[in-house]
Protein backbone atom coordinates (compact mmCIF):
# COMPACT_ATOMS: atom_id res chain seq x y z
CA UNK A 1 0.00 0.00 0.00
CA UNK A 2 1.35 3.42 -0.90
CA UNK A 3 1.07 6.31 1.51
CA UNK A 4 -1.02 9.17 0.12
CA UNK A 5 1.10 12.10 -1.01
CA UNK A 6 0.59 15.31 0.98
CA UNK A 7 -1.77 17.87 -0.49
CA UNK A 8 -0.08 20.69 -2.41
CA UNK A 9 -0.82 24.21 -1.20
CA UNK A 10 -1.04 25.23 -4.86
CA UNK A 11 -0.85 23.08 -7.96
CA UNK A 12 -0.55 24.31 -11.54
CA UNK A 13 -0.63 22.14 -14.65
CA UNK A 14 0.93 23.41 -17.88
CA UNK A 15 0.54 21.62 -21.21
CA UNK A 16 2.16 22.48 -24.50
CA UNK A 17 1.66 20.65 -27.80
CA UNK A 18 4.95 19.53 -29.36
CA UNK A 19 5.68 21.39 -32.61
CA UNK A 20 1.97 22.11 -33.04
CA UNK A 21 1.84 23.37 -36.65
CA UNK A 22 4.22 20.74 -38.00
CA UNK A 23 2.49 17.98 -36.01
CA UNK A 24 -0.92 19.20 -37.21
CA UNK A 25 0.23 18.67 -40.80
CA UNK A 26 0.98 15.03 -39.96
CA UNK A 27 -2.43 14.65 -38.32
CA UNK A 28 -4.06 15.83 -41.56
CA UNK A 29 -1.76 13.75 -43.78
CA UNK A 30 -0.35 10.80 -41.84
CA UNK A 31 2.16 10.04 -44.62
CA UNK A 32 4.09 13.08 -43.32
CA UNK A 33 4.64 11.54 -39.86
CA UNK A 34 8.31 11.45 -38.92
CA UNK A 35 9.30 13.29 -42.13
CA UNK A 36 11.34 16.53 -42.13
CA UNK A 37 8.31 18.82 -42.20
CA UNK A 38 8.37 22.55 -41.52
CA UNK A 39 5.63 25.15 -41.82
CA UNK A 40 6.53 28.55 -43.21
CA UNK A 41 6.79 30.88 -46.17
CA UNK A 42 8.82 30.09 -49.30
CA UNK A 43 12.29 31.58 -49.94
CA UNK A 44 13.72 34.11 -50.54
CA UNK A 45 11.71 36.14 -48.02
CA UNK A 46 9.80 33.46 -46.08
CA UNK A 47 10.64 32.32 -42.57
CA UNK A 48 10.02 29.07 -40.71
CA UNK A 49 6.96 29.32 -38.45
CA UNK A 50 7.27 25.84 -36.95
CA UNK A 51 9.76 23.01 -37.32
CA UNK A 52 9.08 19.31 -36.70
CA UNK A 53 11.52 17.48 -34.47
CA UNK A 54 12.84 15.68 -37.56
CA UNK A 55 14.11 18.98 -39.04
CA UNK A 56 15.21 20.36 -35.67
CA UNK A 57 17.82 17.56 -35.75
CA UNK A 58 19.37 19.48 -38.69
CA UNK A 59 19.52 22.69 -36.67
CA UNK A 60 16.38 24.21 -38.22
CA UNK A 61 14.50 26.46 -35.78
CA UNK A 62 11.37 28.58 -35.93
CA UNK A 63 11.91 32.22 -37.00
CA UNK A 64 14.83 31.08 -39.21
CA UNK A 65 14.78 32.24 -42.87
CA UNK A 66 13.43 29.39 -45.01
CA UNK A 67 16.42 29.78 -47.36
CA UNK A 68 18.80 28.96 -44.52
CA UNK A 69 16.60 26.07 -43.34
CA UNK A 70 16.79 24.56 -46.85
CA UNK A 71 20.59 24.82 -46.76
CA UNK A 72 20.68 22.96 -43.44
CA UNK A 73 18.10 20.36 -44.52
CA UNK A 74 17.82 20.08 -48.31
CA UNK A 75 15.08 17.40 -48.05
CA UNK A 76 12.90 19.72 -45.99
CA UNK A 77 9.18 19.46 -46.82
CA UNK A 78 7.88 23.03 -46.63
CA UNK A 79 4.14 23.47 -46.02
CA UNK A 80 2.07 26.65 -45.89
CA UNK A 81 0.29 27.46 -42.59
CA UNK A 82 -3.23 26.00 -42.25
CA UNK A 83 -5.08 28.22 -39.72
CA UNK A 84 -8.50 26.48 -40.08
CA UNK A 85 -6.84 23.17 -39.16
CA UNK A 86 -5.13 24.74 -36.12
CA UNK A 87 -8.41 26.26 -34.95
CA UNK A 88 -10.19 22.94 -35.33
CA UNK A 89 -7.53 21.15 -33.27
CA UNK A 90 -7.57 23.93 -30.69
CA UNK A 91 -11.34 23.55 -30.25
CA UNK A 92 -10.95 19.78 -29.88
CA UNK A 93 -8.36 20.39 -27.14
CA UNK A 94 -10.69 22.86 -25.43
CA UNK A 95 -13.40 20.23 -25.31
CA UNK A 96 -10.96 18.09 -23.33
CA UNK A 97 -9.83 20.86 -20.97
CA UNK A 98 -13.41 22.09 -20.44
CA UNK A 99 -14.29 18.62 -19.24
CA UNK A 100 -11.23 18.08 -17.06
CA UNK A 101 -10.71 21.50 -15.47
CA UNK A 102 -12.97 24.10 -13.90
CA UNK A 103 -10.71 26.87 -15.19
CA UNK A 104 -8.17 26.98 -18.03
CA UNK A 105 -5.94 29.79 -19.28
CA UNK A 106 -4.89 29.31 -22.89
CA UNK A 107 -1.71 31.36 -23.30
CA UNK A 108 -1.54 30.52 -27.01
CA UNK A 109 -3.31 28.25 -29.49
CA UNK A 110 -1.37 25.20 -28.31
CA UNK A 111 -0.55 25.73 -24.64
CA UNK A 112 -2.55 26.25 -21.47
CA UNK A 113 -2.36 26.52 -17.71
CA UNK A 114 -4.89 24.95 -15.36
CA UNK A 115 -5.07 25.48 -11.61
CA UNK A 116 -5.50 21.93 -10.33
CA UNK A 117 -5.27 22.77 -6.61
CA UNK A 118 -8.95 21.97 -5.99
CA UNK A 119 -8.78 18.75 -8.02
CA UNK A 120 -6.39 16.97 -5.68
CA UNK A 121 -9.07 14.85 -4.01
CA UNK A 122 -10.11 13.59 -7.45
CA UNK A 123 -6.51 13.22 -8.64
CA UNK A 124 -4.26 12.60 -5.66
CA UNK A 125 -1.36 11.52 -7.92
CA UNK A 126 -0.16 14.43 -10.10
CA UNK A 127 1.81 12.09 -12.35
CA UNK A 128 -1.37 10.13 -13.14
CA UNK A 129 -3.25 13.38 -13.79
CA UNK A 130 -0.51 14.54 -16.20
CA UNK A 131 -0.63 11.20 -18.01
CA UNK A 132 -4.43 11.42 -18.28
CA UNK A 133 -4.19 14.92 -19.82
CA UNK A 134 -1.60 13.78 -22.35
CA UNK A 135 -3.70 10.76 -23.33
CA UNK A 136 -6.93 12.73 -23.61
CA UNK A 137 -5.34 15.45 -25.76
CA UNK A 138 -3.84 12.78 -28.01
CA UNK A 139 -7.11 10.86 -28.29
CA UNK A 140 -8.97 14.06 -29.24
CA UNK A 141 -6.44 15.43 -31.74
CA UNK A 142 -3.63 12.98 -32.56
CA UNK A 143 -1.19 15.58 -31.18
CA UNK A 144 1.52 14.77 -28.64
CA UNK A 145 2.15 17.22 -25.86
CA UNK A 146 4.42 17.85 -22.91
CA UNK A 147 2.82 18.30 -19.50
CA UNK A 148 4.39 19.73 -16.36
CA UNK A 149 2.88 20.05 -12.89
CA UNK A 150 4.42 22.40 -10.35
CA UNK A 151 3.55 24.92 -7.66
CA UNK A 152 3.56 27.93 -10.01
CA UNK A 153 3.09 28.93 -13.65
CA UNK A 154 6.69 29.94 -14.35
CA UNK A 155 8.26 26.77 -13.05
CA UNK A 156 5.67 24.59 -14.80
CA UNK A 157 6.46 26.30 -18.11
CA UNK A 158 10.22 25.93 -17.63
CA UNK A 159 9.84 22.30 -16.60
CA UNK A 160 7.83 21.56 -19.76
CA UNK A 161 10.36 23.42 -21.91
CA UNK A 162 13.15 21.20 -20.53
CA UNK A 163 11.23 17.94 -21.11
CA UNK A 164 10.00 18.29 -24.69
CA UNK A 165 8.90 16.41 -26.71
CA UNK A 166 6.23 14.02 -25.34
CA UNK A 167 7.38 14.77 -21.79
CA UNK A 168 5.74 14.49 -18.39
CA UNK A 169 7.31 16.06 -15.32
CA UNK A 170 6.16 16.78 -11.78
CA UNK A 171 8.21 19.28 -9.74
CA UNK A 172 7.31 18.57 -6.13
CA UNK A 173 6.80 21.44 -3.69
CA UNK A 174 10.05 22.28 -1.92
CA UNK A 175 12.24 21.09 -4.78
CA UNK A 176 11.77 24.20 -6.95
CA UNK A 177 15.17 25.89 -6.33
CA UNK A 178 17.16 22.69 -6.90
CA UNK A 179 15.11 21.89 -10.00
CA UNK A 180 15.63 25.36 -11.48
CA UNK A 181 19.32 25.81 -10.58
CA UNK A 182 20.81 23.82 -13.51
CA UNK A 183 18.31 25.08 -16.14
CA UNK A 184 19.78 27.34 -18.83
CA UNK A 185 19.31 31.07 -18.26
CA UNK A 186 17.18 31.71 -21.33
CA UNK A 187 14.43 29.36 -20.05
CA UNK A 188 13.53 31.91 -17.35
CA UNK A 189 10.83 34.30 -18.62
CA UNK A 190 12.05 37.92 -18.53
CA UNK A 191 15.52 36.75 -19.60
CA UNK A 192 15.40 37.28 -23.36
CA UNK A 193 18.01 35.84 -25.73
CA UNK A 194 19.93 39.15 -25.73
CA UNK A 195 20.12 39.37 -21.94
CA UNK A 196 21.05 35.68 -21.76
CA UNK A 197 23.91 36.26 -24.20
CA UNK A 198 25.12 39.26 -22.17
CA UNK A 199 25.05 37.27 -18.94
CA UNK A 200 26.78 34.36 -20.62
CA UNK A 201 29.61 36.61 -21.73
CA UNK A 202 30.08 37.50 -18.06
CA UNK A 203 30.20 33.85 -17.03
CA UNK A 204 26.60 33.14 -15.93
CA UNK A 205 25.01 30.16 -17.66
CA UNK A 206 22.29 28.75 -15.41
CA UNK A 207 19.29 30.03 -13.44
CA UNK A 208 21.16 29.08 -10.27
CA UNK A 209 23.92 31.55 -11.19
CA UNK A 210 21.38 34.39 -10.79
CA UNK A 211 21.25 33.61 -7.06
CA UNK A 212 25.03 33.57 -6.59
CA UNK A 213 26.06 36.43 -4.28
CA UNK A 214 29.26 36.94 -6.34
CA UNK A 215 27.17 38.60 -9.05
CA UNK A 216 25.09 40.81 -6.75
CA UNK A 217 26.33 44.23 -7.78
CA UNK A 218 26.57 43.41 -11.46
CA UNK A 219 23.01 41.98 -11.55
CA UNK A 220 21.75 44.96 -9.55
CA UNK A 221 23.16 47.31 -12.19
CA UNK A 222 21.73 45.24 -15.03
CA UNK A 223 18.19 44.63 -13.70
CA UNK A 224 17.62 47.40 -11.15
CA UNK A 225 14.31 46.99 -9.36
CA UNK A 226 13.36 43.93 -11.42
CA UNK A 227 16.09 41.87 -9.75
CA UNK A 228 13.89 40.96 -6.77
CA UNK A 229 11.21 39.48 -9.02
CA UNK A 230 13.78 37.73 -11.21
CA UNK A 231 15.43 36.17 -8.17
CA UNK A 232 12.03 35.12 -6.74
CA UNK A 233 11.30 33.38 -10.04
CA UNK A 234 14.78 31.78 -9.99
CA UNK A 235 13.90 30.35 -6.56
CA UNK A 236 10.57 29.09 -7.88
CA UNK A 237 8.47 31.67 -6.01
CA UNK A 238 5.57 32.59 -8.27
CA UNK A 239 2.01 33.29 -7.15
CA UNK A 240 0.66 34.47 -10.51
CA UNK A 241 -2.94 33.22 -10.71
CA UNK A 242 -4.35 31.21 -13.57
CA UNK A 243 -6.83 33.57 -15.19
CA UNK A 244 -9.49 32.18 -17.44
CA UNK A 245 -9.74 33.66 -20.91
CA UNK A 246 -13.51 33.26 -20.52
CA UNK A 247 -16.10 34.93 -18.29
CA UNK A 248 -15.85 33.32 -14.84
CA UNK A 249 -19.26 34.73 -13.78
CA UNK A 250 -21.16 31.96 -15.49
CA UNK A 251 -20.64 28.49 -16.91
CA UNK A 252 -22.61 27.55 -19.97
CA UNK A 253 -23.06 25.00 -22.70
CA UNK A 254 -24.98 25.15 -25.91
CA UNK A 255 -25.34 22.99 -28.96
CA UNK A 256 -26.66 23.34 -32.47
CA UNK A 257 -28.56 20.39 -33.91
CA UNK A 258 -27.84 19.16 -37.42
CA UNK A 259 -31.60 19.16 -38.06
CA UNK A 260 -34.05 21.48 -36.29
CA UNK A 261 -36.09 19.60 -33.72
CA UNK A 262 -39.64 19.75 -32.35
CA UNK A 263 -38.92 16.93 -29.90
CA UNK A 264 -39.19 18.16 -26.31
CA UNK A 265 -37.58 14.93 -25.10
CA UNK A 266 -34.44 15.64 -27.12
CA UNK A 267 -34.27 19.19 -25.72
CA UNK A 268 -34.72 17.80 -22.21
CA UNK A 269 -32.05 15.13 -22.58
CA UNK A 270 -29.60 17.67 -24.00
CA UNK A 271 -30.19 20.12 -21.14
CA UNK A 272 -29.90 17.32 -18.60
CA UNK A 273 -26.46 16.37 -19.93
CA UNK A 274 -25.38 20.04 -19.90
CA UNK A 275 -26.59 20.36 -16.31
CA UNK A 276 -24.60 17.27 -15.33
CA UNK A 277 -21.42 18.65 -16.85
CA UNK A 278 -21.83 22.20 -15.53
CA UNK A 279 -22.58 21.08 -11.99
CA UNK A 280 -19.51 18.86 -12.21
CA UNK A 281 -17.45 21.99 -12.99
CA UNK A 282 -19.04 23.87 -10.10
CA UNK A 283 -18.27 21.09 -7.63
CA UNK A 284 -14.66 20.89 -8.80
CA UNK A 285 -14.39 24.60 -8.20
CA UNK A 286 -16.25 24.45 -4.84
CA UNK A 287 -18.94 26.79 -6.17
CA UNK A 288 -22.72 26.72 -6.33
CA UNK A 289 -25.10 28.58 -8.67
CA UNK A 290 -28.15 30.53 -7.58
CA UNK A 291 -29.78 30.80 -11.05
CA UNK A 292 -30.03 29.11 -14.38
CA UNK A 293 -30.69 30.52 -17.84
CA UNK A 294 -32.19 28.44 -20.65
CA UNK A 295 -31.70 29.57 -24.22
CA UNK A 296 -33.49 28.37 -27.34
CA UNK A 297 -32.99 29.46 -30.92
CA UNK A 298 -35.73 28.52 -33.35
CA UNK A 299 -35.54 27.74 -37.06
CA UNK A 300 -36.05 31.45 -37.85
CA UNK A 301 -33.00 32.23 -35.67
CA UNK A 302 -35.13 33.93 -33.02
CA UNK A 303 -33.59 33.54 -29.58
CA UNK A 304 -35.72 33.21 -26.44
CA UNK A 305 -34.45 32.81 -22.90
CA UNK A 306 -35.87 32.01 -19.49
CA UNK A 307 -34.14 32.65 -16.19
CA UNK A 308 -35.02 30.86 -12.95
CA UNK A 309 -33.64 31.20 -9.42
CA UNK A 310 -33.03 28.17 -7.24
CA UNK A 311 -34.23 28.37 -3.61
CA UNK A 312 -30.55 28.73 -2.65
CA UNK A 313 -27.17 28.27 -4.43
CA UNK A 314 -26.85 24.65 -5.61
CA UNK A 315 -24.45 22.37 -7.42
CA UNK A 316 -26.32 19.07 -7.25
CA UNK A 317 -27.79 18.18 -10.63
CA UNK A 318 -30.63 16.04 -9.24
CA UNK A 319 -31.89 18.84 -7.00
CA UNK A 320 -31.60 21.48 -9.74
CA UNK A 321 -33.14 19.50 -12.60
CA UNK A 322 -36.88 20.04 -11.82
CA UNK A 323 -36.34 23.84 -11.94
CA UNK A 324 -34.39 23.66 -15.21
CA UNK A 325 -36.92 21.29 -16.75
CA UNK A 326 -39.86 23.45 -15.79
CA UNK A 327 -38.20 26.55 -17.22
CA UNK A 328 -37.63 24.68 -20.48
CA UNK A 329 -41.30 23.72 -20.75
CA UNK A 330 -42.40 27.29 -20.06
CA UNK A 331 -40.13 28.41 -22.90
CA UNK A 332 -41.03 25.87 -25.58
CA UNK A 333 -43.88 26.85 -27.90
CA UNK A 334 -45.75 24.01 -29.54
CA UNK A 335 -45.05 23.33 -33.22
CA UNK A 336 -41.87 25.40 -33.15
CA UNK A 337 -38.70 23.78 -34.46
CA UNK A 338 -35.52 24.57 -32.57
CA UNK A 339 -32.00 24.63 -33.94
CA UNK A 340 -30.10 25.40 -30.73
CA UNK A 341 -30.47 24.82 -27.02
CA UNK A 342 -28.23 26.16 -24.28
CA UNK A 343 -27.95 26.27 -20.51
CA UNK A 344 -26.04 28.71 -18.31
CA UNK A 345 -25.58 28.59 -14.54
CA UNK A 346 -24.90 31.96 -12.92
CA UNK A 347 -24.88 33.93 -9.64
CA UNK A 348 -22.19 31.89 -7.99
CA UNK A 349 -21.63 31.45 -4.29
CA UNK A 350 -19.01 29.34 -2.53
CA UNK A 351 -20.34 25.81 -2.02
CA UNK A 352 -20.78 24.92 1.61
CA UNK A 353 -20.00 21.30 2.51
CA UNK A 354 -23.26 21.13 4.46
CA UNK A 355 -25.13 21.31 1.15
CA UNK A 356 -25.13 17.54 1.05
CA UNK A 357 -25.28 14.76 3.50
CA UNK A 358 -22.17 12.62 3.70
CA UNK A 359 -23.40 9.78 1.48
CA UNK A 360 -24.67 12.11 -1.24
CA UNK A 361 -21.30 13.92 -1.20
CA UNK A 362 -19.45 10.63 -1.64
CA UNK A 363 -21.74 9.59 -4.51
CA UNK A 364 -21.15 12.94 -6.25
CA UNK A 365 -17.41 12.62 -5.80
CA UNK A 366 -17.46 9.14 -7.33
CA UNK A 367 -19.50 10.50 -10.24
CA UNK A 368 -17.05 13.40 -10.72
CA UNK A 369 -14.22 10.86 -10.96
CA UNK A 370 -16.11 9.01 -13.71
CA UNK A 371 -16.88 12.23 -15.59
CA UNK A 372 -13.21 13.22 -15.54
CA UNK A 373 -12.16 9.82 -16.83
CA UNK A 374 -14.87 8.96 -19.37
CA UNK A 375 -16.80 12.14 -20.08
CA UNK A 376 -20.29 13.15 -18.97
CA UNK A 377 -22.22 10.89 -21.37
CA UNK A 378 -21.36 7.69 -19.51
CA UNK A 379 -22.76 8.78 -16.19
CA UNK A 380 -26.44 7.98 -15.89
CA UNK A 381 -27.19 9.41 -19.31
CA UNK A 382 -25.19 6.95 -21.44
CA UNK A 383 -24.81 8.04 -25.05
CA UNK A 384 -27.74 10.41 -25.33
CA UNK A 385 -26.36 12.20 -28.37
CA UNK A 386 -27.80 10.66 -31.51
CA UNK A 387 -25.63 10.63 -34.58
CA UNK A 388 -27.48 13.40 -36.37
CA UNK A 389 -26.59 15.91 -33.68
CA UNK A 390 -23.50 18.03 -33.93
CA UNK A 391 -22.02 19.42 -30.80
CA UNK A 392 -20.67 22.90 -30.83
CA UNK A 393 -20.43 23.40 -27.12
CA UNK A 394 -18.65 26.06 -25.16
CA UNK A 395 -18.05 26.66 -21.51
CA UNK A 396 -17.78 30.30 -20.64
**Residues marked as catalytic:** 111
Q: Pairing between strand 104-108 and 111-115?
A: antiparallel
Q: 11 with 115: CB under 8 angstroms?
A: yes
**Cα 337 to Cα 138, 169, 299, distances in angstroms:** 37, 50, 6
b/e for 332-368, b at 16 or more Cβ within 10 A? Answer: beeeeebbbbbbbbbbbeebeeebbeeeeeeebeebb
Out of 32, 39, 103, 110, which residue is the one contacting Mg ion (CB under 5 A)?
Answer: 110
Q: How far is the CB of 105 from Mg ion (least distance, A)?
A: 15
By CB under 5 A, how many residues form the interface with Mg ion? 4
Q: How far is the CB of 344 from Mg ion (least distance, A)?
A: 32
Q: How many CB atoms lie within 10 A of CB 148?
A: 26
- 209 near Mg ion (CB under 5 A): no
Q: 115 with 103: CB under 8 angstroms?
A: yes
The crossing angle, in degrees rounded to 10, of helices 317-331 and 264-284 is 140
- 254 near Mg ion (CB under 5 A): no
CB-hemisphere CA count at 13 Å for 367? 21
Nearer to Mg ion, 16 or 317 (CB): 16
In the range 354-373, which residues lie near Mg ion by CB under 5 A? none
- 17 near Mg ion (CB under 5 A): yes
- 16 near Mg ion (CB under 5 A): yes
Q: Which range, of 14-22, 77-85, 119-127, 188-196, touches Mg ion by CB under 5 A?
A: 14-22
In the range 63-92, which residues lie near Mg ion by CB under 5 A? none
Which H/E stretch holds residue 148?
strand 145-150
Q: How far is the CB of 20 from Mg ion (least distance, A)?
A: 5
Q: Which range, of 20-28, 49-57, 165-173, 208-216, touches Mg ion by CB under 5 A?
A: 20-28
Q: How far is the CB of 194 from Mg ion (least distance, A)?
A: 23
- 39 near Mg ion (CB under 5 A): no
**Contacting residues toward Mg ion, per CB under 5 A:** 16-17, 20, 110
Amino acid sequence: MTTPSPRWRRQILFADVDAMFASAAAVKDPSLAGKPVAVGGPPPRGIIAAASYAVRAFGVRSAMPTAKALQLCPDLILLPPDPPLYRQLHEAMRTVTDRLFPLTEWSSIDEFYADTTTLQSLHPDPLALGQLVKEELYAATGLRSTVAIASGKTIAKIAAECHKPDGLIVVKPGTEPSFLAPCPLHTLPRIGPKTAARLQALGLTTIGDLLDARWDSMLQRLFGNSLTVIRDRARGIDNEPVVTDRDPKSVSRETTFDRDTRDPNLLERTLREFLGLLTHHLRQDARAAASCLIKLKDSRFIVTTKRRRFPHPLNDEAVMWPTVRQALHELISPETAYRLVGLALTDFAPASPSLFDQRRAQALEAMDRLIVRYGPSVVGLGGIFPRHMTRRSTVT
